Amino acid sequence: MNAARVAALAARLQAALVACCAAYIAFVQTSGITFVRSASFAAMAGVLLVAVLQRHPPGSARIAHGERWLVLPQFAWIAWSALSLAWSRDPHYSLDEILTEGLAGFVTFVAFLHAARQPRGFRSIVGALLGMSALMAAVALATALAGGFDAALAHHGVGGYSTHLVMVAPFALLLLARGPEGLALGRRQRLACALLVLLLLIAARLTANRMLWPALMAEVIVATLALHCAQADVRRRRRLALVSVACLAICVAGFFHAAQERVLQLSLTLPLPSVSQTFVDDPRLRLWTLAFERIAAHPWIGYGYGRGILAADFATSLHDPLLTHAHNVFISQWLQSGAVGLLLLVLALGALAWRFLRFVRSQDRRLALAGVIGLALLAGFVVKNFTDDFLFRNNARELWAMLGMLAGFGLAREREVGAPAAVPLPAVERLRAEAAVATVAVEPVLATPRRA
């Protein structure tokens, strides 16, 4: 096969991978349409396998050097999780979880990492993500107006849907960005951004989830700091600060309203408690105490992969059938795969955070924007899952898909500009300037020929 045919095949495979990823990121948001979601995932995995095995020209589906440092930590985490089958309390359950969670998440990450290399593919996937998110928020609003919103029907439940809202929120920035990385072409796109934000806020209000609002606050703070570092214009920094303060005020109001609704829900079965009392009496405190007791028995290797590996033990010990896992993403990983597995997961997320930080410090606008969204996404997910564990099923695949496409787009742009992404820190700049002065001073001496 000649070079032209190889390039044409690579282009067709890339287009097919983008189409599969766009379909998957759209339908993974729904708890219905299972067949379409499964079919799109199978097609995505198949196209990825063919693309990786096929002979390709440079810049196609081969894993590039920068991508390896993101893929390898996640692969190590999955491999250690698979190794836990040797000592798992329930090997059959752990095997099923490794296939449906670990391996599926890894395939999703690598597929989106490849699919988003081209700006057109990145825009297509983001368009599918935001378009379906707006549609699902509109459905939530319509059902609420019709008689009552039930997140369990089509939105993966309150916890799953509120986690999705946290993860998709930073991508609204792309509706305000122009160029290959953004979707903004004029006033229509700005109006679309305002409408999307409004729909997401309404949907967030309908979930009545308390931790959603601190997670959004974390995203606003991280995005503001990152944009402040990437933005040199003083006027734009001031505008950014005003917008951030307004967003934080909305989040604070939403949190207190959700906390008050929680009080009203509890008052139906108990004497009317205060807002602070609902936090003091939260069953997660007893759950975390029990979780650390179980961790102390197997601190290094855990009990076996799977969020519900100790479900029966927790439900029996706490006399509550709803408390079946650790309700904290890091404590949950510690229980499942021990300190080693927790460290590998932190390294996988830390490698992505470090790469996004390099993007933010870049002088290239496209890289900086990808880094801002990535850091905000990680911050929001971690805060949201401080009291729960939604590194699970559809939310986990969404997370890996979003992280993969941001990293893939940024790394491709980094290779395109052909320059280091990070802007040197002021202290390093001073050292370089002093070194340059010293070099100029000693050049005449070095240039003097030595006498025999």
Distance, in Å, from the CA atom of 409 to the CA atom of 406, rounded to the nearest integer, reads: 5
CA 97 to mean position of chain CA atoms: 20
Distance, in Å, from the CA atom of 215 to the CA atom of 221, rounded to the nearest integer, reads: 10
Distance, in Å, from the CA atom of 410 to the CA atom of 358, rounded to the nearest integer, reads: 10
Question: Residue 358 is encoded by which pair of tokens?
Answer: 């390099």
Helical pair 329-360 and 393-417, crossing angle rounded to 10 deg: 20
Instruction: Give the torsion sign (CA, 387, 391, 394, 395).
Output: positive
Distance, in Å, from the CA atom of 176 to the CA atom of 362, rounded to the nearest integer, reads: 19
Closest-CA residue to 28 (of 410, 336, 396, 363) = 396
Distance, in Å, from the CA atom of 61 to the CA atom of 35, rounded to the nearest integer, reads: 27
Q: To which residue do tokens 């951004």 refer?
A: 193
Q: What is the pLDDT along the chain (452 residues), one digit of tens a residue?
A: 577 887 888 889 999 999 999 999 999 999 878 899 999 999 999 999 998 887 555 545 566 667 889 999 999 999 999 999 999 999 999 999 999 999 999 999 999 999 999 889 999 999 999 999 999 999 999 999 998 899 999 999 999 999 999 999 999 888 877 665 555 556 777 788 889 999 999 999 999 999 999 999 999 999 999 988 877 667 778 888 898 999 999 999 999 988 888 777 666 555 555 656 666 667 889 999 999 999 999 999 999 999 999 999 999 999 988 899 999 999 999 999 999 999 999 999 999 999 999 999 988 888 899 999 999 999 999 999 999 999 999 999 999 999 999 999 999 998 888 644 444 444 444 445 544 544 444 344 334 444 43
Task: Record the pTM.
Answer: 0.88
Closest-CA residue to 47 (of 23, 14, 75, 24) = 14
Distance, in Å, from the CA atom of 259 to the CA atom of 242, rounded to the nearest integer, reads: 26
Question: Residue 135 is encoded by which pair of tokens?
Answer: 């549609």
Distance, in Å, from the CA atom of 286 to the CA atom of 288, rounded to the nearest integer, reads: 6
The predicted pLDDT at position 9 comes to: 86
